[in-house]
Amino acid sequence: MLARHFQEHQPDLPLIYIDKERYEFDPIRDYHDLIKYVEANSADNGKFVLMIDEVQEITDFEKGLRHFLNEGRADIYITGSNAQILSGELADRLSGRYVKIHVHGLSYDEFLTFQNLSDSDDALLKYLKWGGLPFIRHLYKNDQVIFEYLRNITDAILLKDVVRRHKIKNTDFLENLVLFIAANTGNLITAKKISDYLKSQRLDVSVKVVLEYLKYLQNSFMLYKVRRRDVASKKIFAVNNKYFFEDWGMRNALLGLARFSPADVLENVVFRHLLTLDYEVYIGKLNGHEIDFVAEKDGRTVYIQVAYLLADEKTKEREFGNLLKIKDNFPKYVVSMDPLSLGEVDGVKHLRLREFLTLKKL
């Protein structure tokens, strides 16, 4: 899309587009090849636009980018699917001369647009089940078809961005680890708890290895680790984190259609929407009580509790009561799938999930 924009608005500006998933660019294997290719396809001393898709497939690509930046002739855009490469090496070698944009899956509003749907409970259920990968637009709208596609995408990420990149041999452990996280999405998890579970499955894996593999999954943009923080002191706790999927549709596909439940993915969906709104997100702890999300942006804090249904007084008291224990004046919300809004309770606002997912700011 960006390439088309340049071609339409600056047709005289040379554009070099390298897509490492296409066979014709296979000879570009390292930064030496990259520099030779670009110099062969750009005019001497003339300005040009350089776009590289899946840049992590080029060894030491940062050295090539630095070369072009030092020349001052190129406007450069790169995409990639590995967090470690697109943060650590770039930060070290490009010295802040770049802007990083994290591209998430579709928001609920975008999902409605892509699928030609109107906002409704049925559309929301599809979003909770299928997730937000854009290509679903082109698939036959059948749960089995879509889940098969999502499983294939998951397998490709694990093979390409985890197994091959980190030279993993214990693939059985990796698959069991991902399934464990999928089955425990939104639960407090420790590496020891995972290690103990895997030992019960006759997979003897140390806590250190569990932590390494979890980091690999985060670097592939499949998982996020959300840390716990004390609401009053803002102290970060070292253990008991939560893990969420970038795309919960892949999580659902891993477990299978028969095990899908909207209640199991609500926290994941709310968390991802907060990321889309550029919040930094923590799990809150206040005097032994859990606050599902503490979200911060621009010096402002938002507190959120997530529930499937506020079906009885005990549930209402728990969800609203935890937030009422926080004695500051920042916004506080309870988000649920109830058909009707309960309004406000002592300043804590209830939002239906459909309402929450259409908010552009909190």
Question: Does 104 have pLDDT greater than 90?
Answer: yes
Report yes or no on 72 lying in a domain: yes
Q: Is the pLDDT score of 128 beyond 80?
A: yes
- Same domain for 196 and 116? yes
pTM of the model: 0.90
pLDDT of 1 reads 86
Least confident window among 116-125, 167-176, 254-263, 326-335: 167-176
What six digits make up the tokens of 277? 């709104």
pLDDT band at 30 (very low <50, low <70, confident <90, very high): very high
Last residue of a domain, one of 61, 94, 127: 94
- In a shared domain, residues 198 and 263: yes
How many CB atoms neighbour CB 103 within 10 A? 7
Q: Where in the sequence is the domain holding 67, given as residue range(s)?
A: 2-94
Does residue 214 share a domain with residue 73?
no
The pLDDT of residue 217: 95
- 14 and 90 co-located in one domain: yes
Confidence grade of residue 160 (pLDDT, cut at 50, 70, 90) = confident
Q: Which pLDDT score, from 0 to 100, does residue 200 have? A: 85
The answer to whether residue 187 is domain-embedded is: yes
73 and 135 share one domain: no
89, pLDDT greater than 70:
no
Backbone angles phi, psi at 332, to 5 degrees: -135, 135
Average the pLDDT over each of 62-66, 255-259, 289-293 and give the range with the smallest value. 62-66
Q: Quick check: is 132 in a domain? A: yes
274, 224 Cβ separation under 8 angstroms: no
pLDDT surpassing 80 at residue 96: no
Would residue 101 count as lying in a domain?
Answer: no
Is 274 a residue whose pLDDT tops 90?
A: yes
Question: Is residue 87 predicted with pLDDT exceeding 70?
Answer: no
Does the structure show a pLDDT above 70 at 84? no
CA distance 243 to 50: 36
CATH number at residue 53: 3.40.50.300
103 falls within a domain: no
pLDDT recorded at residue 115:
96
Domain count of the fold of the chain: 2
Of the candidates 247, 262, 267, 23, the one whose C-alpha atom is nearest the C-alpha of residue 149 is 247
Q: Would you place residue 99 in the very low, low, confident or very high pLDDT band (cuts 50, 70, 90)?
A: confident
**181 and 80 assigned to the same domain:** no
- Residue 362 belongs to some domain of the structure: no
Q: What is the mean pLDDT of residues 45-51?
A: 90
Same domain for 190 and 327?
A: yes
- The conformation of residue 297, written as its DSSP 8-state character, comes to E
Is position 99 within any domain?
no
Between 115 and 201, residue with greater pLDDT: 115
CATH of the domain at 268: 1.10.10.10
Instruction: Classify residue 40: in a domain, yes or no.
Output: yes
Kindly state the helix (H) or strand (E) to which residue 17 belongs, with its residue range.
strand 15-19
Model pLDDT, residue 268: 98
What pLDDT was estimated at residue 233?
A: 93
Q: Which of 302, 339, 346 is nearest to 320 (CA)?
A: 346
pLDDT (tens digit per residue) in 197-245:
888 888 788 899 999 999 999 989 999 999 999 999 999 998 899 999 9
What digits encode the pLDDT tens for the residues 297-314? 999 999 999 999 998 999
